[in-house]
Structure 1
Amino acid sequence: MGALHSTPLLPNGQPSAQALACTSANDVTSWGTPPDEAPEDEKDPTELVLQSWAFCKAKPTPQKMYRSDVDERKRRQSVSWRKRTSFIELDCGEDSFFVANNYKVIGVADGVGGWRSEGVDPSLFANALMENAKLFAETHRGEYDPEKILDAAYTKVVKDGVVKVGSSTACVATLRKEDNGSHTLDVANLGDSGVMVVRNRDLHFRVHEKVHGFNAPFQLAVLPRSMVGRAFSDRVQDCVRESVQVQEGDVIVMGTDGLFDNRFNSELAADAGWIGKVEESPIAKIPLVGFLLSGILADEKIEYIDPYRVAQRIITDAYKTSVNPETNSPWASMLRQFGQTDAKGGKPDDITVLLSRVSTREELNNNTSW
């Protein structure tokens, strides 16, 4: 993902965050550990949550193709904080993601690949950022401001000092209940990852990106002194903030730029929408027509029974586009807008998708598919 170097910029100021709880987000020693069981106020079976599934595929490289068993064990250990076995098994390359165990906070990050030429593993920063965001959301339950969550996570990366060098884009979304009973998806997006809301298999909303220029997204960073002023180092407060009302049955598609550069919005909405609530077309209520339509669509729908398979198919299709030099893609369309009139093909990249269905907590608790 993206460019590392920039025109000279002022170095980042110290990030800050405030928790709604009595402890401060900046006092990273006070976060504690997530509760073993959900608090009483998270046991309402009618409460809406984000029931989530993920899949990803790392961009093929010789190192990843011939990884040893020892290296694979190390990789799994490095993402053991994801907790869910199916998430730990995923090799997302330089991408990362999280799902908080309150099922109301999700996020993705895309480590800046340019650091690899400096001898730095770009996944380290992205994973640390997402691990911290997950921990903060789970220990500061009731905090649904995505910017505060991201700010706290970044603060901890800086203060911990474990990651010496690196940067990544970041996108965090939260599900919040309004006083009138409606629900709002709040998004903080820094860079070129993205979030879509799909309703009835159509695009209902998509968050805007934040970039410095072509293939140069905004990014959070930890820089060595020698790189200050020569590499992008943006503030959490530079993120795009957007909100949209959501309802039960909506599908949230969150992904890194590897997804959105290789699949058009309409394609993603049509595929992801299978796991959401779809209103029946009026024409389908006509007895004979409805019978014929159900027969035509039966074979197609059977592939989408399992949301995990939907996520897997989305990634598979995006990957096929990314390695096809002759196809059309959002990436090629963007290149044409920048003057490359004959541009075609996809963009090879790490590709991550996080699918979430807005559902009741009762449905979440009864779901055993993951």
Structure 2
Amino acid sequence: MASHALMCRLLPNVSVSKVSSVFALGMNNVPLFRGSASHGVFSMSSAGVSFPVPCFLGGAAATYGSAASARPLHALLSGASTFSSSAASSASPGDEAAAAVYEVAIRTGDRRGAGTPCGAEIELFGMDARDSSGPHVVGTEKGFVTGGCDAFDVHSPTDLGDSPARLRLRRLEAGSSDLGAGWYVYDVLVVRRGGRRGMRYHIDGWLGESDSGGVKGEDERLVTGVTVEDVKSAMDATRLTRNSLSDSEINALAKYPVLLYAGAAVLPHPEKLETGGAGAKAAISRTFGNGGEDSFFIARGGMNGGATALGVADGVFAWRDQGIDAGEYSRGLMRAALQAAESADTHPRPDALQLMSCAAKGVSDLKLQGSSTCCIVSVCNRNGILKSANLGDSGFIVLRPSLDGTVFEVKNRSVHMEHEFGRPYQLGHHDHGDKPEDAHFEQAALRPGDVLVLGSDGLYDNLSDEDIADLITKTAGTTANKTNSTAAWSHALASSCARVLASHAFEASVNKTADTPYSRAATEFFDMVYSGGKRDDITVVVALAANPPKMNE
């Protein structure tokens, strides 16, 4: 795992972004320490991770003379006098000509590459009128940062009412190269100055091409807003990803009983094999395995021994500098999750988030030290409902055969959770570790013929989702659609797919000229052209969804 926030402890007056620039790409595998050295992009609550709240949602706001004036997040959170309540009493030149002043908060997602160096155009529409001075250009100086919330004032000569009905948001072009310019916008909140009731425009998607996931969206969105009685409360609402389905949607789709046949492959970082140490070499069984600081589990149960839960964890190697084996921490997480899944005598069995909580408690009870990302997926054999909890840059994708059955296509994808590039969310023994409730929770519906791929960042840093889909198509071919095949054949195919993915991820990791998800994300974050893969432990778990031979649970 890569992280460089340890430098923040050595340079307490330098922001994480500055540390990133100073140490460039040389700082790999460093533990995550959040706290005073962080620039405060996230706040913590019992409901999970929430976006920072701009000052206008908690009190008076500053005003500026331009039609759309920016209030950077770092300034909003720093308590600078420019943004004090006294500043709000000073009228800006734009106020005199404005029929209304609207305060706008644009929230950028927290997945890898979500930020953009580009600015944006924003335009507001009322029920019967539009802002005649728009569109307004914002964010041109610094762009929008991953996980950030950027606030702007829009001075409109047209009174659009307290709640503008629609909003148009357009990402500006990057120039000669669009690499790194894709922008993942979560939502936009608008409130008339001095009010509480406002509008929320839900986007939750890419504007332009994603930097590392192979997803491309339109550069412009026209969105109809939803009224929120208290805009500040809306900032703290629990977030689901675009691909996550609501309970009602899940119940409508959950009509396919499935049986999962799973296999795994682990390739430790080559240098760890040379230096040795506990867990350095790969060790795999039908239900548990590890290599380097990576670990996985496969909980078998349900109908005729089909897998009901799977997980991957990636420990932070750099704890070794403090005499701590983070591999022991990740192995402890997966063992605890496995034990919780297999020993549960309740029905329904624990879901992914409950298993993650059990795993975190397990390593805490054992007083294990270190930190680790964690991705756990649980599947109900009776109806195919998949529930996942993901914390960090490990993750999963769901592949489904195309309508003509010739190729596999990406159906669902977990969120790549980072505080910023190289600083993934992670469970840990230290005070600044993330918690299970900070995990991204998703649910989807599987059907026979689907392929579920879990992996550590060693997989997803080096292979795109499209690479993975192509390799599964070539390896499994149309045979993956033989959903009534024997258990032995299905297990063998799953294991073969896992080995192929791990092998290709390794080849990309040592290729210095490869175009990889990691190199694309690094190019954006460091504002320099970077190529090649990332050498790391690689763990892959592949599960094939098949028709169950009979219902006996």
Calculate the TM-score normalised by the size of structure 2.
0.48
1:199 Cα deviation (Å)? 0.8
Distance of 1:66 and 1:341 partners within structure 2:
33
Residues 276 and 357 in structure 1, CA contact (< 8 A), matched pair in contact too:
no
Aligned ranges for residues 252-271 of structure 1 at < 5 Å?
A: 252-271=452-471
Aligned ranges for residues 149-160 of structure 1 at < 5 Å?
A: 149-160=355-366
* Residue in structure 1 matched with residue 333 of structure 2 by the alignment: 129
* Residue in structure 2 matched with residue 234 of structure 1 by the alignment: 434
Write out per-residue CA displacement over residues 213-267 of structure 1, whole angstroms, 9 at most, x where no aligned residue.
11111111113xxxx4xxx411100000111111001000100011000001101
Distance of 1:57 and 1:279 partners within structure 2:
25
Kindly tell me: are residues 125 and 91 of structure 1, through their superposed partners in 2, closer, same or farther at Cα, counting changes over 3 Å? closer
Q: Relative contact order, CA 8 A, sep 6+: which one is greater?
A: 1
Q: Does 1:51 align with 2:261?
A: yes
Residues 32 and 433 in structure 2, CA contact (< 8 A), matched pair in contact too:
no
Determine what percentage of the aligned residue pairs are the same residue.
29
Distance of 1:6 and 1:94 partners within structure 2:
19
* Residue in structure 2 matched with residue 338 of structure 1 by the alignment: 525
* Residue in structure 1 matched with residue 308 of structure 2 by the alignment: 104
Q: Does 1:195 align with 2:396?
A: yes
Gaps of 5+ in 1: 15-45, 281-304, 364-370
* Residue in structure 1 matched with residue 293 of structure 2 by the alignment: 94
Aligned ranges for residues 173-192 of structure 1 at < 5 Å?
A: 173-176=377-380, 182-192=383-393
Residues 98 and 108 in structure 1, CA contact (< 8 A), matched pair in contact too:
yes
Secondary structure of residue in 2 paired with 1:110: strand
Q: Tell me which protein shows more helix as a share of its residues.
A: 1
Aligned-partner residue type, residue 2 of structure 1: A
Q: Does 1:8 align with 2:35?
A: yes
Gaps of 5+ in 2: 4-30, 39-43, 47-255, 302-306, 402-407, 482-491
* Residue in structure 2 matched with residue 207 of structure 1 by the alignment: 414
Kindly tell me: are residues 133 and 7 of structure 1, through their superposed partners in 2, closer, same or farther at Cα, counting changes over 3 Å? closer
1:184 Cα deviation (Å)? 1.5
Distance of 2:314 and 2:275 partners within structure 1:
23
1:137 Cα deviation (Å)? 0.4
Distance of 2:480 and 2:375 partners within structure 1:
30
* Residue in structure 2 matched with residue 169 of structure 1 by the alignment: 373
Distance of 1:257 and 1:75 partners within structure 2:
18
Secondary structure of residue in 2 paired with 1:348: coil
* Residue in structure 2 matched with residue 27 of structure 1 by the alignment: none
Kindly tell me: are residues 169 and 254 of structure 1, through their superposed partners in 2, closer, same or farther at Cα, counting changes over 3 Å? same
Distance of 1:185 and 1:276 partners within structure 2:
24
Runs of 4+ off more than 6 Å:
none
1:119 Cα deviation (Å)? 1.7
Aligned-partner residue type, residue 65 of structure 1: E
Aligned-partner residue type, residue 236 of structure 1: P
Secondary structure of residue in 2 paired with 1:104: strand
Distance of 2:545 and 2:516 partners within structure 1:
29
Aligned-partner residue type, residue 334 of structure 1: A
* Residue in structure 1 matched with residue 488 of structure 2 by the alignment: none
Calculate the TM-score normalised by the size of structure 1.
0.70
Aligned ranges for residues 206-355 of structure 1 at < 5 Å?
A: 206-223=413-430, 228=431, 232-273=432-473, 274-275=475-476, 306-355=493-542
RMSD across aligned positions (CA): 3.0
Question: Aligned match of 2:349 in 135, 139, 143?
Answer: 143
1:328 Cα deviation (Å)? 1.0
Write out per-residue CA displacement over residues 11-49 of structure 1, whole angstroms, 9 at most, x where no aligned residue.
x999xxxxxxxxxxxxxxxxxxxxxxxxxxxxxxx9522
Residues 290 and 296 in structure 2, CA contact (< 8 A), matched pair in contact too:
no
How many residue pairs get aligned? The number is: 285
**Which structure's CA Rg is the greater one?**
2
Kindly tell me: are residues 261 and 75 of structure 1, through their superposed partners in 2, closer, same or farther at Cα, counting changes over 3 Å? closer
Distance of 1:149 and 1:276 partners within structure 2:
33
Kindly tell me: are residues 275 and 144 of structure 1, through their superposed partners in 2, closer, same or farther at Cα, counting changes over 3 Å? farther
Distance of 2:264 and 2:372 partners within structure 1:
19
Distance of 1:277 and 1:154 partners within structure 2:
40
Residues 96 and 127 in structure 1, CA contact (< 8 A), matched pair in contact too:
yes
Aligned ranges for residues 58-97 of structure 1 at < 5 Å?
A: 58-61=268-271, 64-65=273-274, 67=276, 83-84=285-286, 92-97=291-296
Residues 198 and 252 in structure 1, CA contact (< 8 A), matched pair in contact too:
yes
Kindly tell me: are residues 264 and 192 of structure 1, through their superposed partners in 2, closer, same or farther at Cα, counting changes over 3 Å? same
Q: Tell me which protein shows more strand as a share of its residues.
A: 2
